[in-house]
Amino acid sequence: METVEMNSVSLKRPRSEDDVANADEIKRQKISEKSKTGNDSGQSVETVTDQPDKSLLEDTKNEIIPNEESEEQEDEELEDSDEDGDPESFADMMKHGLTESDVGITKFVSSHKGFSGILKERYSDFVVHEIGKDGRVSHLDDFSVPVDDEVNFEDPSEETFTVLSDEDKQRLEELQLLKNKETSVAIEVIEDTKEKRTVIHQAVKSLFPGLETKTEDRDGKKYIIAYHAAGKKALANPRKHSWPKSRGSYCHFVLYKENKDTMDAINVLSKFLRVKPNIFSYMGTKDKRAITVQEIAVLRITAQRLAHLNKCLMNFKLGNFSYKNHPLKLGELQGNHFTVVLRNITGTDGQIEQAMHSLREIGFINYYGMQRFGTTAVPTYQIGRAILQNNWNEVMDLILKPRPGAEKGYLVKCREEWAKTKDPAAALKKLPVKRCVEGQLLRGLLKYGMKNIISAFGIIPRNNRLMYIHSYQSYVWNNMVSKRIEEYGLRAVPGDLTLKGATAVHIEEGDVDNYTIHDVVMPLPGFDVIYPKHKIGEAYKEMLVADNLDINNMRHKIRDYSLSGAYRKIIIRPQNVNWEVVAYDDPRIPLFTTDLDKLEGKPLPVLPTDGKFRALKMEFSLPPSTYATMAIREVLKMDTSIKNQTQLNTTWLR
């Protein structure tokens, strides 16, 4: 699974001016959308679908959680309105969170003296470009729509998107999704011309896959009648006959997004296109608190329809359209290229040069980053351990019990109710946002009963369930790699493992000089893993025995929770490492141009040669499943946990 930093691991500061501006922009958009529909029932299309800011959901976001119930579609405003509070209170809550040492992150490989800097003071200080399997870096640099050779197929015209009223669109959407008992929707043709009727026919068929249309005379007036040609089957197989054979079935495009994670972006696009999220595919999830550029594929949606969204959406841009015969698959990318600005740095030029040279030449320890483990006093690895131990009462208790730390107010009330009553119905009533893990588990307990926790837990989307056991694997690996570095340093030793193709082999005494630390891998705990022939192998066993687990049998009676073995490099050496130190006076101004800036012709601001502040701008490329924050940690020699950073940040503000 490809993992890129989420917003929870930022060296987090209280909301900066760009966050406030972004929030105002979102509110304006919501108001605008509602005024267009004239509907306050929650069915208006909104561009904000933020999931709860739960660390439980942040690392494994490959599975899109569908919008299941109409009341849940209203959750976003509740989430947005529940603020974190003032900086001191947030920092006070985060005193209960995890530090790096709590999850085994304790060592560095470089010898330079550390210095401080602010990561993600603005979300635009962290830019990610996806690197495809062909090595090409994804960039948004073209808004044009490809032209088809087949003349019999006509893409929707601009009028298609405006010919239907908001009321017509709502009725048609309800018909398409079979939300009412109507078998058809009649749309009166006000200007009765063949051209006008054609545009309406085309608009219905383009915007609402699965619906057919016909023209009828009623009381001397012309009506376009929309109806389901094949009931529910039409939703699963939208209008195959309207797609030209010469065109690839998938429209690939580059998605540029700001301050939104990939799942949220897909949910927004699917709402606007009125299609199910599962027709989209992508190679990896990307950060929320960042600007990211990645490739997306969607089944049988034209480039013109997608390009039209550029006029409707904020924080997103779509471009570089092409038609292909295949979707995208998770994990089939080479990695990601990062452009990162660390503001208000304190290091001398010599310290910075030494730190960046070390990053380029040696690299950094390939730890799993802090976002893998959660932000509250109940780490996700503890839940994973309970699953592996088959201790389901503890799983339920760990997810639902009250805990100190930064959480939304409604979650605190839900947990208090659960502790008091152990009644899933009563606890669920305290939880307006039901798509979070707690809400899903409570609904499962209501459905299957308190004596069938396994089935209740199974209601949570599979990838989110597996995230817990992967968190435990990561916790073990982090601790073991720290022990390996402590015992043997930065050299290959006999008994280490290295990969020959997909197979791990031991480094023998006579071959050790042929290998460096960059060749060494260590296993993640799983039933098919070969363990090293030195004392680290025993350390693995001791750690798992202490957790009442058998390292030689990680099979679980529920197949999904059986840990499979894998290998992970100890040290990652970033590629394409570049850096420069720049001066600036105003922390609100950007320090480099984005793809969108370049498309819109925005010049870089003129920076002072002797500004009040200094920033380190760095670029580097990383393979999948590595964490940019761990590279930045090596440069700064700073704890990247929210617990540590919030304490620092409140001091910076004074």
pLDDT for residue 50: 28
Provide DSSP, 264-318: HHHHHHHHHHTS-GGGEEES----SSSEEEEEEEEET--HHHHHHGGGT-SSEEE
d(CA 615, CA 636): 13
Judge whether 518 and 573 are in contact, CB under 8 Å: yes
pLDDT for residue 528: 60
| Residue 327, token pair as written in the block | 């979707």
- pLDDT tens, residue by residue, 353-408: 999 999 999 999 999 999 889 877 789 999 999 999 999 999 999 999 998 776 77
| 413 confidence band (pLDDT: 50, 70, 90) | very high
pLDDT for residue 19: 43
Catalytic residue among 59, 125, 264, 287: 287
| Strand 291-299 with 126-132, pairing | parallel
547 is catalytic: no
Q: Is the pLDDT of residue 477 over 90?
A: yes
Q: Is the pLDDT of residue 194 over 90?
A: no
Provide the β-strand partners of residue 339: 127, 619
| 166 confidence band (pLDDT: 50, 70, 90) | confident
| 583 confidence band (pLDDT: 50, 70, 90) | very high
Q: Is the pLDDT of residue 631 over 60?
A: yes
Mean pLDDT of all residues in 400-418: 87
Provide the β-strand partners of residue 506: 497
Q: Is the pLDDT of residue 325 over 90?
A: yes
pLDDT for residue 14: 35
130 vs 288: which has the higher pLDDT: 130
Alpha-carbon torsion, ordered 200, 206, 212, 215, to 10 deg: 10
- pLDDT tens, residue by residue, 236-278: 454 444 678 888 999 999 999 999 989 889 989 998 888 888 8
Question: Which stretches does DSSP call E strand in 541-612?
Answer: 566-569, 571-572, 575-584
